[in-house]
Amino acid sequence: MTSTNTTSKKDFFTVINERKSVRKYDPNVSISKEELRDIIETAGKAPSAWNLQHWHFVVIHGKTAQQRLYPIAYHQQQILDASAVIAVLGDLEANRNTDAVYDPLVQQGQISKETKERIAQQIEMAYTNKQYVRDAAFQNAALAAMQLMLAATAKGWATCPIGGFDVNQFKQAFHISDRYIPTMLITIGKSIAPARHTTRLPVEAITTWVEQ
């Protein structure tokens, strides 16, 4: 099996235009744990509400693990052929990250203890709203997921986001706690066939301008 690491640097708009949803991968190409860590580190720099970083990544890396995922993802061949599959989970208890996020800022003198406590109260108030909790988990995890795919593209890897999988089976098979909700799978590997041709709606169709 061929192991590939890439360090190429590309212009941002090149990355945006190159990113496609690729479903056919070379099953003989592997990706190192170090490269996956680099991609995930970049994904983790995505913005999030209160900087609570409402995401967790489960890396299914290796053919045995990917074989376990295969039936859960409705026997999609890309699950087996990809170099790895990354499950993006939304954190339903991201409010538990408050101290880890804000205590260092207090210690560094970036914010006061009173400011931190005020922010903590705002967060706890928001987390009494169950609809907000679920929405925030999906919204913020999606930001990290997009950043992950762009980072992979910049490094020369192909990706595909997958919503078609059995969430409950996934949680059971990979021992996911109820703190997290699986939002999507992302395959990553080396493409052996072009992505399907797609079109995009014109700006006029997706934009409403409010100027007064």
pLDDT of residue 2: 61
46-61: pLDDT as tens digits = 999 999 999 999 999 9
Strand partners, 56: 89
Token couple for 92: 């339903």
Mean pLDDT estimate for the chain: 95
101-123: pLDDT as tens digits = 999 999 999 999 999 999 999 99
Dihedral, CA atoms, 191, 196, 197, 202, nearest 10 degrees?
-100
144-157: pLDDT as tens digits = 999 999 999 999 99
**128/5: higher pLDDT:** 128
Residue 42: Cβ-neighbour burial (10 angstroms; 0-12, 13-18, 19+): middle
159-187: pLDDT as tens digits = 999 999 999 999 999 999 999 999 999 99
Class (C level, CATH) for 2-206: alpha beta
pLDDT of residue 196: 87
Q: Give this prediction's pTM.
A: 0.93
Q: What is the DSSP string of 76-87?
A: -HHHHHSSEEEE
Q: Show me where the domains of the chain are located.
A: 2-206
